[in-house]
Structure 1
Amino acid sequence: MKKFFRGFDFGKSEGKDKRKIEETEINNSGADDQSEKEDLSAEDGISHLISEAESPSGDQIFNQFMQKLGKKPNSKNLDLNNCALSAADVTELASLLPFLPELEEISLSWNGGVGGTLKALTVHLHHANLLKVLRLNNCRLTAEDVTSLGEAFEIVSQLEELDLSWNSNIGGKLSLLTKKFQKGGCKLKLLKITDCNLTAKDGESLAEILNVIPNLEVLDLSINKLIGCSMKVIAQALKNVPGLKELNLHMCGLKQDSLQGLDSALQHLADLRKLDISCNKEIGGGFKDSTAHLASLKNLEVLDLHQCCVTEEDMTILSQVIPLLSSLQELNLSSNKNAGISSGPLLGRLRFLPKLKSVAISNCGLGEESFSSLAEAALHLPELEILDLSWNKCVGGNLKLLLGALKLAMEIQVLRLSSCNLVDEDLALLTLLTQDGHLARLQKLDLSYNNNVSDEGWVMFCRGLTVFKELSELDVSLRPSSCRDCGTWFSELLAALTKLPALAELGMQRWVLSELQREQLESFNQDNKRNIRFDC
């Protein structure tokens, strides 16, 4: 039997075949595993690529953030004024700073939600190495915000403009900001702290930093009524900013001694272009000993003294000084009721200031003599663009005295004659001037509160109104205590409107309009595709 079955050897053959099968299966299994691994690896690579494609870039995230707030993206100028920002928005904005290496301006003004959250932003300002402008007006800043901002000054070394206006909580806390200014390292050119409830102590802190910001060109402390108590200290420190070009001290509670200290500082401010000390009523009577250096400001272009309770003696002094300001372009003496009595000499000497572009002497109690002096001087002011004579009753019936000056003033754009007791003859004169081609560039005309003009006078005026092709604002309102029907001149006005392409605002307060007339005004805008704001 063994001999017979020897050639078949079933066990060995079966074992060999079994091993071959197993080896084949193992090899096939390994190949399948390798193939599966390769497939999985390929899937992972595709997933990774898809993930990268779907993941937004820094620019995309920034664009989405700006679009959410209804603003156009700008990687250099971040303008988020009046956007109702929340604390979450400020935090999100801070996270975007690494994607904005070219950022130069940040404006977050008129966002009350910024208050109390500024630290979330300032800790990331090291990403904005090129930041030059920071505006935080009316943001309800807290003491913590001021401290955080101060700490940021050690980082934003390129900052040139800082505006913190209308943050009342800064008052009494300015030192939290100023003590961080680095001597010799501060490049600030503009500092505005308007209406921040600053105290006398804040004034002292401000005086200290004037020593370390030698490049300062604009300083605005307006509407801080308590700052006047420290004006002497501030004035002494102003000698350290010889390049100052603009100084705004409107409504700062200045007194006569403050004015004297300020005058002594002017000798160091040869580059000053604008000086605003308006609405400081207690400086009246103090100009006698405080104008020694005012006349030396040969580069001064703007002088604002309105509502300073200037006395007759002050006017005598100013009449000797102001004509020496050879570069003066804007002069505002409005609301100094005593000025009219002795303003003749000063107004007559305005002829020595041929660069004057704006003269405002509203509510100065001018008499006919002083008005006549102004009219003669105006003949020598060919560049005059703005003339405000409002609330001077002597103008009524005497506008003809200005006839020659208004003919020569080819550049005049704004003429304010509110509450001047104008009569029909005065409006006829304006109409005559326009017909002769004068006042062609007039843009704003205020004839309000002139109740003595008859309906016939308004009819004549409206018929000649069409010549004012560049007129954008017109006010013919009546006094608050008055009330009159428009009468026949309304139709003349409506006809004129179609020929005044630039007119955008029309004041008609206290003129009684019928329902039909109101409908005509409303339909005018629709029919002529205009958007004139009718103030009725």
Structure 2
Amino acid sequence: MEKTDDIQSCQNEHEEDIPTSSPFDFVMKQFQGKQSSPGKRKERPSAIKKFFRSFDFGKSEGKDRRETEETEINNSEADDQSEKQDLSVGDGLSHHISEAESPSGEQRFNQFMQKLGKKANSKNLDLNNCALSAADVTELASLLPFLPELEEINLSWNSCVGGTLKALTVHLHHVNLLKVLRLNNCRLTAEDVTSLGEAFEIVPQLEELDLSWNSNIGGKLSLLTKKLRKGCKIKLLKITDCNLTAKDGESLAEILNVIPKLEVLDLSINKHIGCSMKVIAQDLKNVPGLKELNLHMCGLKQDSLQGLDTALQHLAELRKLDISCNKEIGGGFKDSTAHLASLKNLEVLDLHQCCVTEEDMTVLSQVIPLLSSLQELNLSSNKNVGVSADPLLGRLRFLPKLKSVAISNCCLHEESFSSLAEAALHLPELEILDLSWNKCVGGNLKLLWGALKLATEIQVLRLSSCNLVAEDLVLLTLLMQDGHLARLRKLDLSYNNNISDEGNDYCQKSSDDFRWTHCRFANGGKWLGCANRGGWAV
């Protein structure tokens, strides 16, 4: 009995020595029970463990407790430092592996161009009409740092460029050798124009800027021009069909004194800019090296023409002057040609569809023959050219360098046509002759017989809608058979309803010996055949 009591007493004493288990002990066991396996990185103390560290689970107070906390903190710091070292080593290894596997900048550029079906060129980036997306523009921008030798960028006819240009312009400092930037028909926005203006400072070598066919530029050109600084190297500036306003014209005039090296200025198809042409003309004196001035369909009026004529005295280097399709300047030539004759280097003069009057013709008959370097003359769609009594066409003989003469739809009559035929005898370098839509040519082509025999350089002959008859085609056939017109490549005889099938057949059979690239025959407005290289196809 005593033995039993003693055993029970020992058991009670032993149970008193065992601390009572608490819920906190259970939680701690879940987090502390698992030990780090050998060879593995020590686990970082959890937030829960740190939280419970502030509680006492049967441990001594005072010094022992502080020592325990300090030990745990030191262990935690050691674990953190060890983990950082492990991560650093891991990140370094990952970095080296990534560098080894990732493509170089050149490879990325080649892949980008290959994706777009283009051949990579480190100096010329031609992405014209490539259906670029906004993502493509962003990707291209990221590739610019790898193209330090880039000199030309062409993103024309990619509508998605609009609104995303800033992503590209902020990286243009990587291509500071850039000389050519073409952004035709890109739907540029006001923000794009502003970004482009800001980029002028980081592309100091830029020589050509083409922004044509971006209608949203209209009214916002100042966002671009006010960023230009004196000494700018731009030589070519094209802003064709951009819906420019009179205010834009004034902004353009202001920059002419900061781009002294300008050689080509194209403002064509901006119908409202004519209102500010007098202002622009006044500042053209600041670009004495200008070689090409295109003002086709710019809404010019007689006073605009007068201001332009005044500017011509400062443009001795001018090679091309296009003021065509400005109907309201008709009648203004008689007072605005004083300096036109001084353009001794002028090679191209385009006056088609300008409603030239008979008085204008009197003046032009005196001035045009003095343009000794003239190679191309277009007077088409000016009906008074043919009916005027002044012999302008006859005086073309004084321009032996003429290569192209266009007098389509000028209401020529037999006398004026005869004068032209005589002048053509003195034009040995003539390559293009356009007499279309002049009814008097029909039945009178024989007047050109002598000129066509001597025109050894003639390559293009246009006789569309000239009321030609079978005899005219016979004449052309004989010329070919005799070995003349050997260099003829294009012959347009369309819309000549009076030509009989017999005449067509005769001319077609004789064409087999000639290597024409293009020829039209028509009877009643219908196609009968087309001559091509090496033979005839019906």
Q: Same fold (TM over 0.5)?
A: yes
Instruction: Tell me which of 418, 437, 446 is aligned to 2:492.
Output: 446
Task: Give the drift of 1:48.
Answer: 7.3
8 Å CA contact 2:408, 2:436 repeated in 1? yes
8 Å CA contact 2:512, 2:535 repeated in 1? no
Structure 2 equivalent of residue 476 of structure 1: 521
The SS at the match of 2:373 is: coil
Quick check: 1:70 aligned with 2:130?
no
When residues 157 and 69 of structure 1 are mapped into structure 2, their CA distance, relative to the original with a 3 A threshold, is same
Name structure 2 gaps, 5 residues minimum.
Answer: 1-37, 40-88
When residues 338 and 44 of structure 1 are mapped into structure 2, their CA distance, relative to the original with a 3 A threshold, is closer
Task: Give the drift of 1:53.
Answer: 3.9
Q: Alpha-carbon deviations, 1:386-426, whole Å to 9, x = none?
A: 00000000100111111111111111111000000001111
8 Å CA contact 1:440, 1:467 repeated in 2? no
8 Å CA contact 1:305, 1:334 repeated in 2? yes
Structure 2 equivalent of residue 501 of structure 1: 534
Task: Give the drift of 1:284.
Answer: 0.3
Task: Give the drift of 1:477.
Answer: 3.7
Q: TM-score, structure 1 length as denominator?
A: 0.82
Distance in 1 between the 2:278 and 2:93 partners?
73
When residues 72 and 307 of structure 1 are mapped into structure 2, their CA distance, relative to the original with a 3 A threshold, is same
Structure 1 equivalent of residue 67 of structure 2: none
Instruction: Tell me which of 406, 412, 421 is aligned to 2:467.
Output: 421
Structure 1 equivalent of residue 248 of structure 2: 202
Quick check: 1:178 aligned with 2:225?
yes
Instruction: Tell me which of 127, 138, 153 is aligned to 2:185.
Output: 138
Instruction: Tell me which of 294, 307, 321 is aligned to 1:261.
Output: 307
When residues 373 and 241 of structure 1 are mapped into structure 2, their CA distance, relative to the original with a 3 A threshold, is same
8 Å CA contact 1:431, 1:461 repeated in 2? yes
Structure 2 equivalent of residue 147 of structure 1: 194
Distance in 1 between the 2:422 and 2:390 partners?
11
Structure 2 equivalent of residue 156 of structure 1: 203
Quick check: 1:54 aligned with 2:101?
yes
Structure 2 equivalent of residue 7 of structure 1: none
Distance in 2 between the 1:169 and 1:254 partners?
22
8 Å CA contact 1:172, 1:202 repeated in 2? yes
The SS at the match of 1:476 is: strand
Task: Give the drift of 1:47.
Answer: 8.0
Structure 2 equivalent of residue 241 of structure 1: 287
The SS at the match of 2:202 is: coil
8 Å CA contact 2:362, 2:390 repeated in 1? no
Task: Give the drift of 1:337.
Answer: 1.2
Aligned length: 453
Tell me the amino acid that sits aligned with residue 145 of structure 1: D
When residues 410 and 237 of structure 1 are mapped into structure 2, their CA distance, relative to the original with a 3 A threshold, is same
Structure 2 equivalent of residue 113 of structure 1: 160
Tell me the amino acid that sits aligned with residue 69 of structure 1: L
Instruction: Tell me which of 448, 456, 463 is aligned to 1:410.
Output: 456
Q: What's the RMSD between the two structures over aligned residues?
A: 2.1
Tell me the amino acid that sits aligned with residue 99 of structure 1: F
The SS at the match of 1:345 is: coil
Quick check: 1:365 aligned with 2:398?
no
The SS at the match of 1:169 is: helix
Distance in 2 between the 1:437 and 1:298 partners?
37
When residues 343 and 122 of structure 1 are mapped into structure 2, their CA distance, relative to the original with a 3 A threshold, is farther
8 Å CA contact 2:500, 2:523 repeated in 1? no
Distance in 2 between the 1:144 and 1:43 partners?
45
The SS at the match of 1:154 is: helix
For 1:29-428, list aligned pairs within 5 A: 51-184=98-231, 186-342=232-388, 345-428=391-474
Structure 2 equivalent of residue 434 of structure 1: 480
Distance in 2 between the 1:239 and 1:54 partners?
59
Distance in 2 between the 1:477 and 1:141 partners?
44
When residues 44 and 141 of structure 1 are mapped into structure 2, their CA distance, relative to the original with a 3 A threshold, is closer
Distance in 2 between the 1:483 and 1:276 partners?
34
8 Å CA contact 1:354, 1:383 repeated in 2? yes
Distance in 2 between the 1:255 and 1:277 partners?
11
Task: Give the drift of 1:501.
Answer: 2.5
Tell me the amino acid that sits aligned with residue 517 of structure 2: S
Distance in 1 between the 2:324 and 2:235 partners?
23
Distance in 2 between the 1:79 and 1:339 partners?
44
Task: Give the drift of 1:50.
Answer: 5.9
Tell me the amino acid that sits aligned with residue 402 of structure 2: L
8 Å CA contact 1:195, 1:224 repeated in 2? yes
Distance in 1 between the 2:436 and 2:251 partners?
41
Distance in 1 between the 2:497 and 2:389 partners?
27
Q: Alpha-carbon deviations, 1:361-399, whole Å to 9, x = none?
A: 000000000000000000000000000000000100111
Task: Give the drift of 1:502.
Answer: 8.1
Which is worse superposed, 142-151 or 334-343?
Answer: 334-343
When residues 379 and 217 of structure 1 are mapped into structure 2, their CA distance, relative to the original with a 3 A threshold, is same
8 Å CA contact 1:344, 1:371 repeated in 2? no
Structure 2 equivalent of residue 36 of structure 1: none
Distance in 1 between the 2:497 and 2:414 partners?
20
Distance in 1 between the 2:526 and 2:460 partners?
27
Distance in 2 between the 1:300 and 1:450 partners?
36
8 Å CA contact 1:344, 1:370 repeated in 2? no
